[in-house]
Structure 1
């Protein structure tokens, strides 16, 4: 694969090869070792604004630096702690559906369902006031779009980075029952590190889950037999969520790694310094791993997918995303059993212009 800057590296699509590379310490996640896949204005906007050494960009670091942050954060995202959030997530979901029902059809599932729920849940988790949600939504969406201009992206980045430092200082004075307050109390992270960690967790927990809720709803509406099966057998929800994650895999760009030494993967020699771009959607449709991978079915075995990545950099908030999806999908279709698309499927605007795959709008009626 030839990268945008002329570097010749590798594009990896096989399931076993992707897992091998993501779990191999001989491959680095540090961006200064990587190469641009395409020329994007946001790369110029980010240049010089974020430094790995001081900002706490743990998702772009290798062990042992990455390990320090991961050790502090892992305890905040256990299955047990996420389950304690279920009553709040249920309340947030119910309120969103109440508002949607009150407004009446037609509705946009992106605006009325997919975005409000994870953004409010993430605000609750981090202890961010709900009135700040809209500004963050704009900023995060702007930074994730490929067609955002350099100045627009810089303004969005400044908005986000300018919000968290005073929030951290306020929580040091007035701690609450939230993740950031607990990190302040139980870790040695600096205010600068905490602010950047807060941004990473907000952006990762909000944008990706919102895209999954919208795109997953679209998939179920396009497969009405699967939607009805889920309503008839609610016990299938856990497997349904895993199958949606496998089948849709919204992370359609990356992850990228760079070889720290010569490494042979499945008979292919990847030389020291070469970049490796992996396709998680392709890996999750590898016929060598999944039976009939191009078809969708909520009862199909879907375990072992790599929608959340793999290895030490596996998505930190994956259990929270699963809980939100397990509660939100059944609530939606139980409240609106006759829910259907308000436009032909081909007219639903697909989000192909951003780092995470999804839909821009999802018009529905009932």
Structure 2
């Protein structure tokens, strides 16, 4: 029987049983997506990593209207247009955006992340001794940071946050498409404003770049706004859950803050609640682990399963910052490696470092099994994380 996405999650800190079964039985599997279309699910670490950087797969399709779909999200559920120019378009986009995520800029931004985190923790402490860590920190911090980086007014957060949630809906195509239209329309408004009143931010910088249209700036900046806060919100919430729910891990970080970099990498590797991975469409016939994949077919690169590959990671389902293993693929690999990875690492290191220093007695206020996760979203994160100190 062909496996069907999404896989049922039975334990919040362990991969879905069906994902584990597939992962342990081979590297490539015929599945059906959540909308019923046929696809190939790649779960093995080596193959996922290689295919992330393989030009034979892409985000476009010669006939996008009839291509197999991974879900209903307008952002990732269907292929993009531009089959003939995808490589050039992607290269150009990265060339335009790379300077804004340079090591120098990221180092300069770290002090501001420290300051914003401290302010949020001050507020949480005053309202304590209990709090929802998601509402108090995991959600507002990435939004504050990406707003300052892009030049987006923080007071608009409720609007663009609602549009972002709609865009990420993998079950309601109309809602997702409407959210994407609203987000892009807002981006055009910001571009017009930055052309009149430029500042020291990414959108203003792109406006000053010759040969870049308003529509292109709006599209790139709104994709950054979505990806730049949504994924970090998820990682802070899930990382805190892993640290507090895994015996001894919070106490170890409190006792030895020098472990923070290893903790951050394990926080990125360990989450297992993702369902299906990254969609790509085959541009030509290819063979993966002895399986023939035809041009036009949908290939799901399951980075979550790859990061739990038992041939690469000992006891892969255990949260263990002390492990010595191959680099995870949570940020992708090669030409499609996430531009925002340095910023995400900074935010996670600052968050968990400050939390450990200021709240050494932090603990979960509910059993881990009671923690709920968002459903029908591109990024499945913690809904709320009650903590006490």
TM-score, normalised on structure 1?
0.90
**Consecutive unaligned residues in structure 2, runs of 5 or more:** 1-29
Q: 1:323 to 1:303 in 2, by over 3 A?
A: farther
Separation in 2, partners of 1:322, 1:249? 19
CA 1:191 to 1:27, structure 2 compared with 1: closer, same or farther past 3 Å?
same
The counterpart of 1:11, out of the listed 32, 41, 45, is: 41
Structure 1 residue 274: deviation in Å?
2.0
2:54 is aligned to: 24
- Please state how far the C-alpha of 1:26 moved relative to its aligned partner: 1.3
Between Structure 1 and Structure 2, the one with more helix by share is 1
C-alpha contact (below 8 Å) 1:211/1:250 kept by paired residues? no
Give how far 1:208 is off: 0.5
Q: Does the alignment pair 1:65 with 2:89?
A: yes
* Equivalent residues of 1:239, 1:302 under 8 A apart: no
How far off is 1:142 after superposition? 2.4
For residues 355-366 of structure 1, the aligned pairs below 5 Å read 355-366=378-389
Post-superposition offset of 1:162: 2.1
Equivalent position to 2:126, from 102, 106, 110:
102
For residues 97 and 29 of structure 1, the distance between their equivalents in structure 2, rounded to whole angstroms, comes to 40
Structure 2 SS opposite 1:307: coil
Question: Is structure 2 residue 329 aligned with structure 1 residue 306?
Answer: yes
Match of 1:181 among 204, 211, 215: 204
User: What CA distance in whole angstroms lies between the structure 2 residues aligned with 1:187 and 1:327?
Assistant: 36
What is the deviation of 1:76?
1.4
Alpha-carbon separation, structure 2, partners of 1:276 and 1:300: 30
- Tell me: CA distance 1:118–1:7, structure 2 relative to 1, closer, same or farther (3 Å): closer
Cα distance in 2 for residues equivalent to 1:154 and 1:136 = 14
Is the 2:74–2:180 contact (alpha carbons within 8 Å) kept by the matching residues of 1? no
Structure 1 residue runs of 5 or longer lacking an equivalent are: none
Aligned twin of 1:163: 186
251-260 or 229-238, larger mean C-alpha shift? 251-260
- In the TM superposition, residue 90 of structure 1 has moved relative to its aligned partner by 0.6
Match of 1:273 in 2: 296
Q: Tell me, in whole angstroms, the C-alpha distance in 2 between the residues paired with 1:346 and 1:206.
A: 26
In the alignment, the residues of structure 2 paired with residue 250 and residue 127 of structure 1 have an alpha-carbon distance, to the nearest angstrom, of 32
* Residue correspondences, number: 356
1:83 shift after superposition: 1.2
How far apart, in 1, do the equivalents of 2:52 and 2:90 lie? Answer: 14
Question: Quick one: distance in 1 between partners of 2:256 and 2:380?
Answer: 28
Q: TM-score, normalised by structure 2?
A: 0.85
Report the equivalent of 2:13. none
Conserved 8 A contact 2:312-2:326: no
- After alignment, is 154-163 or 18-27 more displaced? 154-163
Which residue of the partner structure matches residue 87 of structure 1? 111
Question: Residue 339 of structure 2: SS of its match in structure 1?
Answer: coil
Shift of 1:8: 3.7
Deviation at 1:272, TM superposition (A): 2.1
CA contact (8 A) 2:277 2:304 kept: no
Correspondence 1:75 to 2:104: no
Contact 2:59 / 2:80 at 8 angstroms: preserved in 1? no
Residues 199-208 or 266-275, more deviating: 266-275
Deviation per CA, 1:178-216, whole angstroms, max 9, x where unpaired? 111112223521000000111100000111000100110
Counterpart-to-counterpart distance in 1, 2:237 and 2:36: 36
Q: By how many angstroms is 1:327 displaced?
A: 0.6
